[in-house]
C-alpha cells in the first residue's frame, strides 16, 4: 500500500497493490473504488505480477498519485504552487521516469536518509500507530466471524476501512513531530536537540574509525 497525507491533516490517495492481471471486482475498479469504499481522490487498486513494488509499478502509479495529490484540499486551491512530497529511501521512489511525472505535476520528491524514518517520516509517528490499531481490531473481528481464509481483496477492504478511521489531528501532530509543519517549524539545531539520544547512537558508529572511508561497508 502507498499511503499519503498532508501537514494540514488531509488524507491523500491510497494505492493498493494486488497480485494478478485483471481486476474483476466492480466495486474495486478505479471508477468505483473511491465512491463505494470512501477512499480519497486518486485511490485505487493496482494489479501487479506479485503485489510487490518495483520500478515499473512505481512509474505506472505515479500519474494517479499526482492526480490524487493535486486534488487534496488546500493543494487544489493553488495549482501553480509546487508541492513537496517526502518519501522514505526505497529505491523505486527515485526512479527517473517517475520523477519526471511528478515534476511535470509540480511535485518535488525528496528522500529521507536511510534508517531515519523513526524521526524523519511523518507517517511513522502517530498515523502508523493509529492505522495498525484500527486494522488489527477490524481484522480480528473479521476472522472471528468468518473463520475462513482472508483473500487479498478482502484484506484491502479491511485495511481501507481501518484507514478511514484516521483523523486529521494525527496527521498534523505527526508532521509537527518531524518538523515538517510550516506553521510550527523550528530551527534545525533546535529540532536536532530533541533527538540527541538518536544522534549519539549514530555517532558511536564512527568511534575508533580513521575517517568516512573507513566507515563504509566493505562491499563498497
Kindly report the average pLDDT of the chain as a whole number.
Answer: 88
Question: Is 220 a residue whose pLDDT tops 90?
Answer: no
Backbone angles phi, psi at 46, to 5 degrees: -110, 120
Question: Is 202 a residue whose pLDDT tops 70?
Answer: no
Q: What is the pLDDT of residues 96-120, one digit of tens each?
A: 999 999 999 999 999 887 677 778 8
Q: What is the pLDDT of residues 163-187, one digit of tens each?
A: 999 899 999 999 999 999 999 999 9
pLDDT given at position 206: 60
pLDDT given at position 119: 82
Rounded Cα distance between 89 and 201, Å, is 20
Task: Write down the residue that cell numbers 549519539 correspond to.
Answer: 200
| CB of 88 closer than 8 Å to CB of 117 | yes
Q: What is the pLDDT of residues 204-216, one digit of tens each?
A: 666 666 676 766 6
pLDDT given at position 39: 93
Rounded Cα distance between 211 and 193, Å, is 25
| CB of 124 closer than 8 Å to CB of 173 | no
Round the CA-based radius of gyration of the chain to a whole number and report it. Answer: 20
Domain boundaries defined on the chain: 2-201
65 sits in which H/E element: helix 55-70
Predicted confidence band of residue 7 (pLDDT cuts 50, 70, 90): very high
Rounded Cα distance between 95 and 76, Å, is 26
**Percent of the chain's residues with pLDDT above 90:** 64
Q: What is the pLDDT of residues 9-42, one digit of tens each?
A: 999 999 999 999 989 899 998 889 999 999 999 9
Question: 17: how many CB neighbours lie within 10 A of its CB?
Answer: 19
Predicted confidence band of residue 218 (pLDDT cuts 50, 70, 90): low
* Whole-structure pTM value: 0.83
Predicted confidence band of residue 141 (pLDDT cuts 50, 70, 90): confident
Amino acid at each position: 500500500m502507498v499511503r499519503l497525507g498532508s501537514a494540514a491533516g488531509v488524507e491523500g490517495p491510497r494505492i493498493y497493490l494486488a497480485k494478478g492481471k485483471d481486476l474483476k471486482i466492480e466495486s474495486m475498479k478505479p471508477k468505483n473504488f473511491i465512491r463505494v469504499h470512501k477512499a480519497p481522490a486518486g485511490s485505487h487498486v493496482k494489479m501487479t505480477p506479485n503485489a510487490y513494488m518495483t520500478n515499473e509499478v512505481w512509474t505506472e502509479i505515479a500519474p494517479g498519485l499526482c492526480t490524487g495529490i493535486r486534488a487534496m484540499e488546500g493543494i487544489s486551491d493553488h495549482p501553480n504552487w509546487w508541492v513537496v512530497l517526502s518519501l522514505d529511501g526505497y529505491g523505486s521512489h527515485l526512479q527517473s521516469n517517475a520523477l519526471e511525472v511528478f515534476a511535470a505535476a509540480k511535485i518535488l520528491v525528496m528522500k529521507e536518509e536511510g534508517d531515519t524514518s523513526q524521526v524523519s517520516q511523518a507517517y511513522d509517528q502517530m498515523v502508523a500507530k493509529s492505522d495498525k490499531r484500527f486494522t488489527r481490531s477490524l481484522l480480528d473481528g473479521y476472522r472471528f466471524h468468518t473463520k475462513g481464509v482472508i483473500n487479498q481483496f478482502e484484506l484491502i477492504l479491511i485495511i481501507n476501512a481501518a484507514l478511514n478511521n484516521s483523523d486529521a489531528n494525527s496527521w498534523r501532530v505527526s508532521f509537527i513531530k518531524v518538523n515538517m509543519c510550516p506553521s510550527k517549524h523550528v530551527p534545525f539545531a533546535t529540532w536536532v536537540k530533541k533527538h540527541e539520544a538518536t544522534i549519539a547512537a549514530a555517532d558511536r558508529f564512527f568511534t575508533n574509525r580513521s575517517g568516512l572511508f573507513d566507515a563504509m561497508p566493505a562491499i563498497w
